[in-house]
Chains A and B, each alone.
Chain A
């Protein structure tokens, strides 16, 4: 084989290799892009379902209630409408809750809308169709729901946040679920934070390299990988059943509950996030320079004095960051709560650790598993609230981490 021919083979080979390199580079970039597209689709899909046109129909046309728009009626006239259209028993009950004479005009107006006009959502359309195919929707609504009017509705609104659960999509809100989630997070935090930090301190500052302590460490790593639903089963058997008399509040004389309470849910969630808190706290404690400990010991401090006044304050931002991230895991976790027995329909606010409860992700699950489009709108709205809460928690964690690393650079 002559030299020029060999060179020619080599050249063509090289350009093929480079071509292959470019193709695969595009493939690698593409797989990253697929992940980002999925993220965008997920966000877009939620947004699409949380704003859009709805067909609303009133039980009674407000024009037939009075000769002027309802907003302009005096309190006495609104009261008269209520008296005319509500059954005497309901009217009496509302009056005994708060006498009508003491209610403001706005409150009365709201009551008339809710109890007498009773708007109902008959159908809903996603955002993209609402914007681009308005004509088709109008025709469809005029055909299928002749008495209804089309309205543009943002499903996340102040009513949605402040109203209790309801089976009517127009009036359904997430107050009950939000309060349930807050209680749950509170109990989880009160239980898991001290225990988690204490375990981390023990493992990093006290434990010798003994067999037992190595076993504890391995065990914590394994626990972090146990599926969350298994924790739910542990909670069901342990907190709900075995410790039922304690978690139901029966030992305090409460009788109307079983073990399926906020307390059981919070403790279950506490066990679930405990490994995360421990692992994060361990990392934060390990990052404290040992010169700090040696200085404390050199001054004659005991081990606990060293830990309490030197190691922990230095590790605290890291520990808190880890705890916040663990809480953001807890706030979105659904499966264990279902098993422990969060109720999917519970219109009354939780009053304490021994209440039955619902939680935000449970509410989302419940709405999402219903076939009607209006409930999917509600689920999307609740997801936005949940994601906003998560975003807030993560932003707090990032701020904390940034301040922490700046502080370290300063010293």
Chain B
């Protein structure tokens, strides 16, 4: 205010003002910028913290004389009580549940995305999309309850209570698929809507039906976005905890049978750390080794999916 009011007074005054502005030290500005950049750096610190914590405890774990990295990576028994630390029982059930989840989520999610983007009228889309978003906003512990008290009884009545255990991988996997479905459908729908309409019009012009346009032109053009959605969904399934903790079981079990109970990596971490756990024990350290495996896998998946999306962007801009 002061400076602007002086401006009309003539050229001499103008120079004075400029000098004044230059001389006045803006201590506060620098301080604020420093604080803001500190806040920005906190996210880097968080990542470093995760890597450091997981790495340090894992190192302690592998340095123990009772543990070998080779056994961890190839062993088929996870029984801390008798010092057996083989990753496979936990890893296999994690993969089986995630595979079932993707088996549910990918076709349904993609189907819903094609319907919303290629078939639905704007009005119907406006009605259906928020409903799918509700599905995405439900806490996972609620899904876990749903798996345990709704899906498991249905599976048991279809396949027989002898075949299907009360805690089983199929029910956890199916419900995990329902949880991931809205993620897949909304990411795929974004990819489909990003396909230029000129492509669709060209397909209609040569006489393609709506299905042929969608399946042979639009979906292939959006494929990288759909793949990215699939990878992100997979990473969500691998890291999901509460659904599997409630419905899949509480004991490592190396099996491919989806109706058997087993324990995933996340379920094991949740169960063991929820009990009384003494720090500096091998049990405690082993959880961080499992956490490290999970962190690395999901990180790689997330990075790959972003690469794929970045390629999609290059195509249409």
Query: Measuring CB to CB, which residues of chain A are less than 8 angstroms from any residue of chain B?
Result: 17-18, 20-21, 24-25, 27-32, 34-36, 38-39, 41-42, 45-46, 49, 194-196, 198-199, 201-203, 206-207, 213, 215-216, 219-223, 225-234, 236-238, 241, 271, 274-275, 278, 299-300, 302-304, 328, 331-335, 338-339, 341, 344, 361, 364-365, 368-369, 376, 379-380, 383, 386-387, 390, 394
Contacts and interface: CB of A to CB of B under 8 A. Distances in A.
Interface residues of B, number: 87
B44 A226 contact: no
Secondary structure call for the A interface: helix
Contacts of B110: 31
State the 9 A-B residue pairs at the shortest beta-carbon distance, nearest first. A227-B239, A332-B139, A31-B111, A198-B39, A28-B115, A335-B241, A202-B36, A21-B211, A202-B40
Contacts of B211: 17, 20-21, 24-25
B196 interface: no
Contacts of A303: 29, 33
B15 interface: no
Contact of A237 (B4, B115, B215, B288): B288
A303 B37 CA distance: 14
Nearest to A20: B211
20 contacts: A31-B112, A32-B132, A36-B132, A198-B39, A201-B36, A225-B298, A227-B238, A227-B240, A227-B294, A236-B273, A241-B279, A274-B43, A304-B32, A331-B139, A332-B139, A332-B141, A338-B270, A339-B270, A368-B145, A390-B139
Given A207-B37, A221-B306, A339-B270, 5 more contacts: A36-B132, A227-B294, A227-B295, A230-B54, A230-B294
Residue picked from A31, A46, A328, A383, most chain B C-beta under 10 Å: A31
B142 A332 contact: yes
B91 interface: no
B256 interface: no
Contact of A31 (B36, B107, B242, B294): B107
A30 B142 CA distance: 24
Contacts of B118: 28
B140 A332 contact: yes
Contact of A226 (B26, B39, B141, B299): B299
Interface string B173-210: 00000100110010000000000000000000000011
Contact of B115 (A29, A216, A227): A29
A128 to B, nearest CB: 12
A42 B3 CA distance: 65
Contact of B245 (A271, A365, A387): A365
Given A31-B111, A237-B57, A365-B141, A226 B36 contact: no
A274 B303 contact: no
A376 B149 contact: yes
A35 B132 contact: yes
Nearest to A232: B273
B138 A42 contact: yes
Contacts of A226: 50, 239, 295, 298-299
A31 B189 CA distance: 14
Interface in B120-162: 128, 131-132, 134-135, 137-146, 148-150
B101 to A, nearest CB: 13
B42 interface: yes
Contact of A198 (B35, B128, B178, B269): B35
Nearest to A365: B141
Given A225-B235, A383-B145, A35 B273 contact: no
A234 B40 contact: no
A229 B132 contact: no
Given A227-B298, A233-B287, A383-B145, A36 B131 contact: yes
Contacts of B182: 35
Given A229-B266, A302-B29, A274 B42 contact: yes
A376 to B, nearest CB: 6
A383 B295 CA distance: 30
A245 B24 CA distance: 44
A338 B146 CA distance: 20
B46 A271 contact: yes
A30 B109 CA distance: 11
Contact of B270 (A32, A229, A333, A383): A229
Interface string B289-317: 00100110011001100100000000000
B114 interface: yes
Interface in B42-73: 42-44, 46-47, 49-50, 53-54, 57
A202 B107 contact: no
A364 B145 contact: yes
A374 to B, nearest CB: 13
B14 to A, nearest CB: 13
A38 B131 CA distance: 11
B223 interface: no
B81 interface: no
B16 interface: no
Interface string B256-286: 0000000000100110011000010000000
A225 B141 contact: no
A144 B111 CA distance: 50
A335 B242 contact: yes
